[in-house]
Amino acid sequence: MNYSEILMAVGRLIFGGYFIYNGVQHFKGLDGLTGYAASKGVPLPKVAVIVTGLMLFLGGVGIVLWWYVDLALMLLSIFMLVVTLTMHRFWMETDPSAKSNAMIGFYKNAAIFGALLLLLGALIA
């Protein structure tokens, strides 16, 4: 295994593992996340949390194992786009602390979304 392959394997474990972990947390914290989604006006919040948990988990597994990676990256890109625009609307917050937290979540997700698009672009190039 050369250095490039080692870097790719470690990167896949870290990046994909992040999504696997968060997908599992969707199921472990289903009730809390359902309430949070409902508070943001998400229709069918429990179904949304379950579906997005599956998207995260399957996308992460695809990255870690490098299986159907184009589909994994697309799933995660859709997740990031939708969740970033619906759950982290910092421009709607009036409380400074809530606004700051939402802004942090928004820009973190935007950066991850950008990384996913970079990977998808490199993969299909």
The 10s digit of each residue's pLDDT in 57-86 is 999 999 999 999 999 999 999 999 999 999
Average pLDDT for 88-100: 94
* Six-digit token string for 44: 């069918």
pTM across the whole model: 0.93
Q: How far is CA 39 from CA 13, 33, 77, in A?
A: 33, 10, 23
* Six-digit token string for 87: 């759950």
Q: Yes or no: say if 56 and 20 are a contact pair by the CB < 8 Å rule.
A: yes
The whole-number pLDDT of residue 125 equals 82
Q: Is the Cα dihedral 19, 37, 87, 120 positive or negative?
A: positive
Question: Domain limits at 12?
Answer: 3-124
